[in-house]
Structures are given as C-alpha cells and as structure tokens.
Amino acid sequence: MNDTLKIFAGNSNPDLALEICNCLSMPLGKAFVGTFSDGEIRVEVGENVRGKDVFVIQSTCHPVNNNIMELLIIIDALKRASARRITAVIPYYGYARQDRKVAPRVPISAKLVADLLTSAGANRILTMDLHVGQIQGFFNIPVDNLYASSVMMPYIKANFRDDPVMVSPDAGGVPRARAYAKRLEANLAFIDKRRDAPGKAKAMHIIGEVKDRVAVILDDIIDTGGTLSEAAKVLLEKGASAVYACCSHPVLSGPAVERIQESPLKGLVVTDTIPLRENALQCKKIHQLSVAPLFCKAITGIHKEDSISSLFDIQF
C-alpha cells in the first residue's frame, strides 16, 4: 500500500482492526480515543491525514452509544484535519433493527444513525450483513454491504457434509437460507415464529423437511439467544439429527451465552464483527471465524478505485 492510505480505529473492536492492518501489511494509524473525566469522548489524531484516503474501523456494538459517539467524533476530527475521503468501516451496524415504523410514535433509528454518520463527514460506508438491505437507501453516500456467507459457506461445506438442511429462524430470513441452500445444494426449511416482544420470540412449527438431517440455523444477529434455543428445541422435536447455528453478529447480550450453553445446540459459528466477551470465549459451543481478509480486500479495492463486485457474489 502507498502512503495515501490510512487506517484508524475506535475502541469497539481493536483485535479486528489490527488483523485488518496486518492483512494490509500496514500499521494502525496513531490516534488517542479516550474520555474526559466526566465521560465525554476525547479524540486526538496523532499523524498527518491531509489529502489521505482514510478508513475508520468501528463496530457499533456494546457499549453501543459510546461506540457510535467515538465513531462520529473520530470522523469529525479527520474531516477537520483535511482528510481527502473518509470511509466508515462498520462491521456491525447497530440500531439496524429499528428500520421502519412498526407501531405509532416509534423512531426509525437506523435512518437517524445514517444521517448522523453523513453529517459527521463520512464519504462512504463499508459494512457487513446489514439487518435489512433497505438501510443502504437511508444514506446519500455509497454503501458497500459485504456478506459473511463468504466465510460461513466454506465452513459449512467442510463441516456439515451429511445432507444438511439450511433453516431460517423466521420468514424474513428465508432469502438468506435459500441462497445458502442453493450454493451448497442443500435442503431448505424455515420456522414459523411469533414474536411477543422485542428480544422475545416463540418458535411454532417447521415448514420443510428436517427429519434425520443435520439442521443449520442461519441468522444475521444473535442477541439474547432466545429465538435460537427455542428453534433448536423445535427442530429436534421434528426429528432433526443435530442442530447447529451460524450467525454473523454475536451481540450475545443478557443471558445469551448461558442459554446457548444449556440449549440442545451442538455448536454456534459466528464472525468477529463483534468481539466476544470472556464468558463467550469460554463457551466451547461457540466458534468464531475472522472476516478480516474480506474487509482487507474491500478496503484495497475501494482505495485503488477497483471494482469490488466479486465480493458480492453471494447475495440474497
């Protein structure tokens, strides 16, 4: 890489940022990202970025609001330091679940965050597995949405060879499960799920044949783990020989890790868009795959103004 490219990061996912930099064979940019004594975010960029093509790596995971503010303030600092272009690299885009009005007097928070990022000075967004694709339309700047399937599919193909069935935990995820099933030449099923409240769901019945097959549940986000553990129970009741899950973003809030440990799931495969907390790292059922090489390719292509369409071959 030439010296016109700079990579910076906030505090949300330092391991992924360093891995991306190692993949690019370049150092992480010098910046102080901390707080004042009252908790306000304090940022100071420690090197020249005038005229540079700058990428800021920051997942908006727990603590969500702190990490969003860090990202906004880093972008503002870079803009005021005359960076030529600022790309916000957001492996996990938070607030994406509030993408439309589902009841009176509720916000569309995904749009609000998009406006904040644009107003702060971001010229481009690079993210992965947005909760819904329509969020790309909330921005008036280019958005590249990568797919974790690029790392998930090879893992599934290598580890689940005995006639697996790809399972969507709800009707909304069927396009994702169908894309996996088509690429892997596997069977397809989905669960009729009724949600009683945010973060709480009850799985009902299975659409598709799962009897005597290894069921692989596919989702983009695992939050409290309630949907996943309920789905695993229903699949086993319907005759599945074993149940695994693959989820892009391991939010794993509240009792999620305990639920996974106690559930009939044989294993859960996630990516490192969000760093695992200590209890998740200790859970033997959870296996984490790296998406750093994929982001490395995307950053390289964007910087060189090359096409990165090959990174979107696996879509839903």
Task: Tell me which architecture the domain covering 5-146 has in CATH.
Answer: 3-Layer(aba) Sandwich (3.40)
CATH level 3 topology of 149-289: Rossmann fold (3.40.50)
- Binding site feature residues for ATP: 38-40, 97-98
Contact call for residues 225 and 260 (beta carbons, < 8 A): yes
Q: Where in the chain is the domain with CATH 3.40.50.2020?
A: 5-146, 149-289
pTM over 0.95: no
Q: How far apart are CA 27 and CA 96, in angstroms?
A: 31
For 31, the token pair is: 């910046």
> For residue range 92-118, what is the model confidence (pLDDT) as tens digits?
999 999 999 989 999 999 999 999 999
pLDDT at 16 over 80: yes
**What confidence score (pLDDT) does residue 316 get?**
46
Going through 153-304 in order, the beta strands assigned E by DSSP cover 165-168, 187-197, 200-207, 214-222, 242-250, 267-271, 286-289
- Look-up of token digits 């069927």: 174
Catalytic (active-site) positions: 193
> For residue range 38-74, what is the model confidence (pLDDT) as tens digits?
999 999 999 999 999 999 999 999 999 999 999 999 9
Q: How far apart are CA 168 and CA 217, in angstroms?
A: 6
pLDDT at 313 over 80: no
- Look-up of token digits 């790296």: 290
**What confidence score (pLDDT) does residue 194 get?**
65
pLDDT at 203 over 60: no
Q: How far apart are CA 116 and CA 172, in angstroms?
A: 27
**What confidence score (pLDDT) does residue 3 get?**
86
- pLDDT-derived band at 202, boundaries 50, 70, 90: low
- Binding site feature residues: 38-40, 97-98, 131, 170, 195, 219, 223-227
For residue 45, the surrounding DSSP H or E stretch is strand 41-45
Q: How far apart are CA 177 and CA 84, in angstroms?
A: 40
- pLDDT-derived band at 314, boundaries 50, 70, 90: low
3 state DSSP class of 202: strand
Mean pLDDT score of the chain: 93
**Number of neighbouring beta carbons within 10 Å of residue 116:** 16
